[in-house]
Amino acid sequence: MLFHDVVIVGGGLTGLMAACEAPPGLDVALFSKIYPTRSHSGAAQGGFNAALGEDDSVEAHIFDTVKGGDYLGDQDAVEVLCSEGPEVIRSLDRMGVPWSRRPDGRPAQRSLGGAGFPRACYAADISGHVVLHTLYERALAAGVRLYPEWHLVEILIEEGALAGLLLYHLATGRLEVVRCRVALLAAGGYGRIFQKTTNGHSNTGDGTAVAYRAGAVLADMEFVQFHPTTLTGSNILISEAARGEGGYLRNAAGERFMDRYAPQKMELAPRDVVSRSIFQEIKEGRGLDGGSVNLDLTHLGREKILRQLPQITELAHRYAAVDPVREPIPIEPAQHYSMGGIRVNLDCETTIPGLLAAGETANVSVHGANRLGGNSLLETVVFGRRAGRHLGKAAAGRPLPPPPRASLADALGRWQANFSAGPRHPDDSAAAIRDALNRTMTDKVGVFRTGEELGEAMAELAALRTRYDALRLSPGERPFNTELIEHLELGCLLELGEITAGAAFRRTESRGAHYRLDHPHRDDARWLHHTLARRGADGRAVYEAGPVSITRFPPQERGY
């Protein structure tokens, strides 16, 4: 058994920022299933939004975010995000982040989709990487105790409150109970429920699923972002920065087709709008062979492409055999970001006493029905900082709970069941089930949805769960048991896939990234509310409506 005052699960930008900002003297431990600097945050290319420009304002950033999210974002949370943004970016600057800079030394800013001003601070197209490494160094300097390659398995609850965590240590194959006063989940998103995704292999939503099983409420799981520009086939991201720097989208005939769909913002309309436009072009026969369109950077010139977009140039070379300086890049939309997550308040508290959550794993509802480029990285550092600061107060107000007993016995029973479920389907495998899940999600819970296909998806996912429950693992407590890890991750993916499909089936309107062909309009009278999901006694999700905070911008029609 291990003891710490505060336990953070997740070593991406959110977890590291919280660790750096926790009050000095607090005993903070950070657990991460992969090495912190390999977290998906490190793959982020485009940048961090903050209203720093002379003509820009916090008010404009709030408005763009609320409108971009199709009025489902909680405006009190959006206000926090946008108003704390400039100060957090300055504090990252002081920590030593090597931003790309203007001639006068201030951080440079570029345009991303749905923004009225160039608002994203960046470091070429490796923005996430440089901030992740800066925060990692800071966390080490602050004396944070790191536990890399420890995998969260369960959250132990006694009398409705956090009693401890159960983690699996990959290197030793040991299961360990970790006791703490308070815990913060910063375990990232669950893009890997989809076949076509820009997300890293580790983005399996463990934090979200484990918290849900422990009784936490999830929100807005039907809202999944599909990024318009990923390399066709591999779905490696080609950042919105490519369009921010002036790139064009062209159909097979070479036309800049966005003037048909978003005549003002063109390529820099929000992602939901651009992704649907691309599919519309393809559907109407104006796509390239194999269902793509082109992202054309050639007119930007070699010097600008190599200076501002070096990583994209290399990715296009290496994974699509294309030289963006000379030829257009074939692209297709793919899953990119999970707007849904664990419902939290402005202090990052979940509905379970002692348990906090922040970053992509959480839903404080700053993105509403569609996230704007650059706002997620901002969320990781703004709400990571808030969570870190609140951890001190939360830990002071909560004595170490007594050792978990009943919850631990139950959890150990479930753990053992993984290894002894019986050889009912000896030929089945986690890989086969995951593949089927991924296909169902991409084919039937994708950019365009219908009630009929969502119903089919729900039935298919239920059948996959039955197959999953019958899987048997070879005896387990051994070092680097990747079979076991994949099994645990698949359980989380299935759980979150079912809730995503269930919530999408239920919402009979189109809003932001959730587009129902059979209900193509936004319906504020019936649906201007959050979808809350909690686990019912029979293990199935129970859905209800939650209010949306509207403080200054009443819903309007959303044109670009």
Ligand X SMILES: Cc1cc2nc3c(=O)[nH]c(=O)nc-3n(C[C@H](O)[C@H](O)[C@H](O)COP(=O)(O)OP(=O)(O)OC[C@H]3O[C@@H](n4cnc5c(N)ncnc54)[C@H](O)[C@@H]3O)c2cc1C
Q: Is 100 in the site for ligand X (CB under 6 A)?
A: no
* The residue type at 223: F
Q: Among 284, 288, 295, 290, which residue's Cα sits nearest to residue 228?
A: 295
Q: How far apart are CA 184 and CA 202, in angstroms?
A: 18
Quick one: how far is CA 19 from the chain centroid? Answer: 20
Q: Which of 75, 199, 292, 308 binds ligand X (CB under 6 A)?
A: 199
Q: Are 312 and 242 in contact (CB under 8 A)?
A: yes
Which residues are registered as beta bridge partners of 147?
31
Tell me the window of 194-202, 303-311, 407-415, 451-459 that interacts with ligand X (CB under 6 A).
Answer: 194-202
CB within 8 Å of 226: residues ≥ 6 apart: 271, 272, 275, 333, 334, 335, 336, 446, 447, 513
Q: Which of 18, 41, 217, 311 binds ligand X (CB under 6 A)?
A: 41
Residue 363 CB, shortest distance to ligand X, in Å, is 12
Quick one: how far is CA 41 from the chain centroid? Answer: 10
CB within 8 Å of 108: residues ≥ 6 apart: 99, 100, 101, 102, 121, 122
Residue 15 CB, shortest distance to ligand X, in Å, is 6
Q: Is 113 in the site for ligand X (CB under 6 A)?
A: no
Q: Are 13 and 384 in contact (CB under 8 A)?
A: yes
Q: Is 359 in the site for ligand X (CB under 6 A)?
A: yes
For helices 482-506 and 406-419, the axis angle rounded to 10 degrees is 110
Which residues are registered as beta bridge partners of 150?
169
Q: How far apart are CA 180 and CA 197, in angstroms?
A: 35
Residue 174 CB, shortest distance to ligand X, in Å, is 14
Nearer to ligand X, 33 or 181 (CB): 33
Tell me the window of 25-33, 69-77, 94-102, 476-484 that interacts with ligand X (CB under 6 A).
Answer: 25-33
Q: Is 131 in the site for ligand X (CB under 6 A)?
A: no
The dihedral region occupied by 150, where left means phi > 0, alpha psi between -120 and 50, and beta the remainder, is beta
**271 is a catalytic site residue:** yes
Q: Is 152 in the site for ligand X (CB under 6 A)?
A: yes
Tell me the window of 100-108, 186-194, 267-275, 520-528 that interacts with ligand X (CB under 6 A).
Answer: 186-194
Q: Is 8 in the site for ligand X (CB under 6 A)?
A: no
Q: Which of 32, 195, 251, 277 binds ligand X (CB under 6 A)?
A: 32
Q: Is 147 in the site for ligand X (CB under 6 A)?
A: no
Q: Is 490 in the site for ligand X (CB under 6 A)?
A: no
Closest residue to ligand X, Cβ-based?
A: 12
Nearer to ligand X, 358 or 499 (CB): 358
Q: What SS3 state is found at 448?
A: strand
Q: Among 532, 534, 454, 537, which residue's Cα sits nearest to residue 497?
A: 454
Residue 287 CB, shortest distance to ligand X, in Å, is 23
Task: Tell me which of 271, 343, 371, 516 is the catalytic residue.
Answer: 271
* The residue type at 388: G
Q: Which of 61, 119, 133, 151 binds ligand X (CB under 6 A)?
A: 151
User: Residues binding ligand X: what is the number (CB under 6 A)?
Assistant: 47
CB atoms within 10 A of CB 551: 13
Q: How far apart are CA 389 and CA 396, in angstroms?
A: 12
Q: Is 363 in the site for ligand X (CB under 6 A)?
A: no
Q: Is 202 in the site for ligand X (CB under 6 A)?
A: yes
Per CB under 6 A, which of residues 380..399 are in contact with ligand X? 380
Q: Is 12 in the site for ligand X (CB under 6 A)?
A: yes
Q: Is 519 in the site for ligand X (CB under 6 A)?
A: no
Q: Are 29 and 426 in contact (CB under 8 A)?
A: no
Q: Is 365 in the site for ligand X (CB under 6 A)?
A: no
Nearer to ligand X, 56 or 360 (CB): 360
Q: Is 47 in the site for ligand X (CB under 6 A)?
A: yes
Q: Which of 73, 113, 114, 128 binds ligand X (CB under 6 A)?
A: 128
Q: Is 65 in the site for ligand X (CB under 6 A)?
A: no
Q: Which of 7, 237, 258, 445 binds ligand X (CB under 6 A)?
A: 237
Q: Is 376 in the site for ligand X (CB under 6 A)?
A: yes
Tell me the window of 144-152, 268-276, 468-476, 495-503 that interacts with ligand X (CB under 6 A).
Answer: 144-152
Residue 121 CB, shortest distance to ligand X, in Å, is 10
Nearer to ligand X, 487 or 516 (CB): 487
CB within 8 Å of 384: residues ≥ 6 apart: 13, 14, 15, 16, 17, 18, 21, 186, 358, 359
Euclidean distance between the first and the last CA atom of the chain, given in angstroms as a whole number: 55
Q: Is 178 in the site for ligand X (CB under 6 A)?
A: no
Helices (H), 156-259: 206-213, 241-244
Residue 435 CB, shortest distance to ligand X, in Å, is 20
Q: Among 188, 62, 43, 56, which residue's Cα sits nearest to residue 129?
A: 43
Q: Is 374 in the site for ligand X (CB under 6 A)?
A: yes
Q: Is 40 in the site for ligand X (CB under 6 A)?
A: yes
Q: Which of 6, 11, 315, 527 binds ligand X (CB under 6 A)?
A: 11
Q: Is 344 in the site for ligand X (CB under 6 A)?
A: no
Nearer to ligand X, 9 or 461 (CB): 9
Q: Which of 69, 73, 114, 188 binds ligand X (CB under 6 A)?
A: 188
Q: Among 513, 506, 410, 555, which residue's Cα sits nearest to residue 191?
A: 513
What does each C-alpha distance from 95 to 108, 127, 388, 464 come to in angstroms?
A: 17, 15, 16, 47
**Catalytic residue numbers, as ranges:** 271
User: In the complex, which residues of this chain contact ligand X (CB under 6 A)?
Assistant: 9-15, 31-34, 36, 39-41, 43-47, 127-128, 150-152, 186-189, 198-199, 202-203, 206-207, 237, 239, 337, 359-361, 373-377, 380
